Structure 1
Amino acid sequence: MPYDAEDTRRRIFDAAAAEFAERGLAGARVDRIATAAKANKQAIYLYYGNKEKLFAAVLRAKLEEVRDSVSIDPDAVAGSVGQIFDWYREHPELIRLLLWEALEAGDEPDESERERRDAFREKVCHLVGGSPSHLAEDALVRSAQDLMFTIMGLIAWNFAVPNMCRMVLDEDTDQAAWARRRATVIEAVRRLTTPSLASEAEARRDAPRH
């Protein structure tokens, strides 16, 4: 059978994602990744470089995966949140990778930060259409950024500490706790994105009169 480079890359990626999610960057071992991928270490260095670059490639790909799979509809933010919640529940490895990055990464921005910033800016630009229209443009952007990060926190914390989620809610299983949290997060975001009566009154007051 001829050598299949793409299949080897995929196997290395899948094995690395599992290894990094379980053990982090410092605890991961290239030997274990190679064994799980049924590949040799030289292939890992050839395709991905060192262990740090492999971790960055895995994290970048996982972030792209969630970005391509789900998005926030500016006209139906609360409904979108349920879909995002479900995606994170089905892909808990991303939360683990982000936590390992936070624990192990240095203070200096890495080479992927600009790319990730640009991706979030794109999401914010899409979300701005659902923000209160009476805000100035710069305030619109900041409001959308804060909303997006708040939504990320409301969702991610459930899967970052599932045992605590289960115990605080006094449920017998993670599944029961997550079902409650899903409904609660959707309702919280619905309230966050529903203009209050005071905001509506302010918008009417500030509107130009003809």
Structure 2
Amino acid sequence: MAYDAEDTRRRIFDAAAAEFAEHGLAGARVERIATAARANKQAIYLYYGSKEKLFSRIVRDRLEGLRVSLSIDPDSVADSVGQIFDWYREHPELIRLLLWEALEECAASEEGERDRRDSFQEKARCLVEGGMAPHLPADARIRAAQDLLFTLMGLIAWNFAVPGICRTVLDEDTDGAALARRRETVIEAARRLTAGQ
């Protein structure tokens, strides 16, 4: 069977995503990634350069997946929040990767930082163009949209960042029951935050 470089690259990427989500950048081991990917360590360095570059590419890829999969509908922010909540439930690794990135003070590459900023600016502009806060001056409308986005992100992400605390505070028996309850609460909070916008 011929060597399939693209398949090897994908296996490494998927194995590394799981390893980084579980152990962070510092705790991740190239040997474990290679074993899980059925590849050798040299292939990891050949395709990705370093463990740090691989981590950065994975975070960027997962954020891009979120961006491409979901948008915030200015006419129905609460419904969009429900869809984003569901996406995070199906992709819990993104929260873990972002938490590891913050804990380990991994600086996003300049390109990655620019991509993130552009993506969020696009979402804020979409909200403003959809009619958010028409009573405010243009620059204040953008800032209000950015603040709303970040607030909504926090309302959603915290549920997945600390599921045990969520379950305990809500006095639910399972994470699933707590998340179902929180989903409705977060949607209602989004509805109230955007009422009259």
The TM-score normalised by the length of structure 1 is: 0.90
- Of structures 1 and 2, the larger Rg is shown by 1
- Distance in 1 (CA, whole Å) between partners of 2:36 and 2:75 is 44
- Structure 1 residues 130 and 84, CA gap change in structure 2 (3 angstroms): farther
* Conservation of the 8 A alpha-carbon contact between 2:159 and 2:166: yes
**What is aligned with 1:152?**
153
Unaligned runs of 5+ in 1: 197-210
What is the aligned length? 195
- Deviation of 1:188 after TM superposition, in Å, equals 0.4
Residue 140 of structure 2 corresponds to 139
Q: How far, CA to CA, are the matches of 1:100 and 1:8 in structure 2?
A: 25
- Cα-to-partner distance string for 1:90-144 (whole Å, 9 max, x where unaligned): 11000000000000025x6632212211111112111222412121110110000
CA distance in structure 2 between the partners assigned to 1:153 and 1:185 by the alignment: 10
Kindly report which structure 2 residues correspond to 1:115-130, keeping only aligned pairs within 5 A, or say none. Answer: 115-128=115-128, 129-130=130-131
Secondary structure of 1:134's aligned partner = coil
Q: Letter of the aligned partner of 2:187 in structure 1?
A: I
**Structure 1 outlier segments of 4+, above 6 Å:** none
Which stretch shifts more, 38-47 or 123-132? 123-132
What secondary structure does 1:100 align onto? helix
Report the equivalent of 2:48.
Answer: 48
Provide the secondary structure at the position in 1 that maps to 2:10.
helix
Q: Name the counterpart of 1:65.
A: 65
Q: Which moved more, 1:115-124 or 1:82-91?
A: 115-124
Report the Cα distance in structure 2 between the residues aligned to 1:12 and 1:172, rounded to whole angstroms: 37
**C-alpha distance after superposition, 1:146-177 (max 9, x if no partner):** 00000000000000000000000000001110
> In 1, distance between residues paired with 2:101 and 2:60?
12
The aligned amino acid for 2:185 is: T
SS of 2:195's equivalent in the other structure is: coil
Q: 3-state SS of the aligned residue for 1:187?
A: helix
In structure 1, the partner of 2:196 is 195
CA 1:109/1:89 → structure 2, altered by over 3 Å: closer, same or farther?
closer
Shift of 1:42: 1.2
| Distance of 2:43 and 2:116 partners within structure 1 | 27
Within 5 A, what are the aligned runs for 1:64-143? 64-106=64-106, 110-111=109-110, 112-128=112-128, 129-143=130-144
Q: Which amino acid aligns with 1:101?
A: E
Q: TM-score, normalised by structure 2?
A: 0.96
Distance 1:117 1:8 in 2: 31
* 3-state SS, counterpart of residue 133 of structure 2: coil
Q: What residue is the counterpart of 2:169 in the other structure?
A: 168
Q: How much identity, in percent, do the aligned residues show?
A: 75
